[in-house]
Amino acid sequence: KKTCKEEPTEWPLVGHLFGMIADLRRPNYHDWATVILAGTRHNFAGHTGLAGVRFFVTCDPSNVRHIFTSSFLNYPKGEEFAEIFDVLGHGIFNADGESWQRQRAKSQLLMAAPRFRSFSARCSRDKVEKSLLPFLAHAADAGARCDLHDVFLRLTFDMTCKLVFGVDPSCLQIGLPDVPFARAMDNVLETVILRHIIPPACWRLMYRYEVGPEKKMAVARRTIDRFAVDMIAKRRSDLNLHVDDIRESPDMLSSFICDGDASYEFLRDTAVNLLLAGRDTTGTALSWFFYLLCKHARVELRIRDELAPIAATKMVAAANDMAVFNVTELSNMVYLHAALCECLRLYPPVPFQHKVAAHSDVLPSGHQMKTGDKILVYSYSMGRMDGVWGKDCMEFRPERWIADDGKLRYEPSYKFIAFNTGPRTCLGKEVAFTQMKVVVAAMLWNFTVEAVPEHVVEPKLSIILHMKNGFAVTMKRRNVTDVQG
């Protein structure tokens, strides 16, 4: 018997499988999952009878804390996850156990180093100044519509390539060149979600014979591998040409090569994992942020008010000059930080995460897990539960992140799981905030972004919360000398 009428129908033999496949046609799968989780008190247990697979979907903070932290070792990602995401090879996202620990320790050491942090801050500012602002100014002057989602994914792809390879492929430029790697990555992410639902034997066969959605996957994998080979070869030859500079290059690939981890397989897997981690997440977060600002002029004004005293210290002489901000200048902008967190609560770029029960266990919600049970932790739904965030949980209200003393309010990461929680917490959180703040400040100060009214914005069915139809906007310059008064 259904607890909530939106639940997929359970059929004899095949369990919830057909119901879930039929529901793939829904315009917003994540909203549907959210309605079910709200109606089932945050937890839904199902099975796909044929293969005997049991799955459990949860957005219950006490379960999340148990799965990701207190019983972390009992809930690895599992072999099936690694197979579904085979494009990521043995990289950090796919790894469990000792291999994950080794990779995490290495990346953490590198990303926490002051040299890497200042490299990341410098790259973000330079990219905004030299690519993003000129691109948007051109769009504004031409009065043309642009797809802001595409612009941000190009921007964050360039930024991430610079951090990972030390090379900026300049995908964000006037004329918007074709980016085969990015297209391939989008195809991978779309196909991967089907692999979560279609029985493994079926999708493996489809992949082998390159039919149906798996054809796109096979083609995409070849494109991704070609890109990685080219970038690694280029970096190696650059480094060989300037042998003395190898240890000075702050990008991640150079550091790994210097550490002696130079096997092609390791470098390829690391690079592809980091590109996915950096490009899609931050680009997606920025897209939803501007989507929300277009609907909440009040929030946009408050961020501009917060920026005004910083902008006043900058000399902007001519009407068309544009102000650019350093991340250190923005470090005290509490409202901007709160608004970004509020956007990540409602639109987490990674809408759900995948775990498996290594041994039987009982969750804090009382649900019994058996060895091999699949678990989907639904971050998207967690941000939209009134039992977790209060009756106004569907409202975009940055103020909820600000305490009475005007400082940022602490929210535990098992409740705000956009960056994950526990030992596998996102390693790029600081890089991501740096990039987002520098981009938002420069765009809001120099431009007005207007959403094209008739354009429908909704999430794509993908493991990243991409926008299905993009985000059509028009840009208008703000006269910075006037507003500085």
Candidates 133-141, 231-239, 275-283, 442-450: pick the segment binding ligand HEM (CB under 6 A).
275-283
In the complex with ligand HEM, which residue's Cβ is closer, 139 or 224? 224
How much helix, strand and coil, in percent to the nearest 5, is found in the chain? Answer: 55, 10, 35
Candidates 38-46, 58-66, 216-224, 281-289: pick the segment binding ligand HEM (CB under 6 A).
281-289
- Give, in order, the Cα–Cα distances in Å from 19 to each of 7, 23, 118, 193, 269: 8, 6, 50, 16, 35
In the complex with ligand HEM, which residue's Cβ is closer, 206 or 303? 303
In the complex with ligand HEM, which residue's Cβ is closer, 249 or 480? 249
Candidates 22-30, 36-44, 324-332, 348-356: pick the segment binding ligand HEM (CB under 6 A).
348-356
Among 18, 49, 104, 326, binds ligand HEM (CB under 6 A): 104
Query: Interface with ligand HEM includes 277 (CB under 6 A)?
Result: yes
Instruction: State in angstroms the smallest separation of the CB of 84 from ligand HEM.
Output: 11
Query: Interface with ligand HEM includes 427 (CB under 6 A)?
Result: yes
Report, in angstroms and rounded to the nearest whole number, the Rg of the chain calculated over CA atoms: 23
Exposure string over 86-102, b if 16+ CB within 10 A, otherwise e: ebbbbbbbbbbeeebee
Half-sphere exposure in the Cβ direction for 381 (13 Å, CA):
28
HEC letters along 107-155: HHHHHHCHHHHHHHHHHHHHHHHHHHHHHHHHHHHHCCEEEHHHHHHHH
Greatest Cα-to-Cα distance within the chain, rounded to the nearest angstrom: 73
Query: Interface with ligand HEM includes 449 (CB under 6 A)?
Result: no
Q: Which of 81, 155, 113 minimizes the C-alpha distance to 427? A: 113
Among 228, 356, 432, 464, binds ligand HEM (CB under 6 A): 432
Candidates 36-44, 271-279, 298-306, 446-454: pick the segment binding ligand HEM (CB under 6 A).
271-279
- How many residues in the shown chain lie near ligand HEM by CB under 6 A? 24
Mode of pairing for the β-strands spanning 374-378 and 53-58: parallel
Distance (Å, rounded) from C-alpha 120 to C-alpha 115?
9
Among 34, 43, 58, 107, binds ligand HEM (CB under 6 A): 107
Q: Segment 137-196, which members bind ligand HEM (CB under 6 A)?
A: 160, 163
State the residues that interact with ligand HEM by CB under 6 A. 92-93, 104, 107, 160, 163, 274, 277-278, 281-282, 285, 349-350, 353, 418-420, 424, 426-428, 431-432
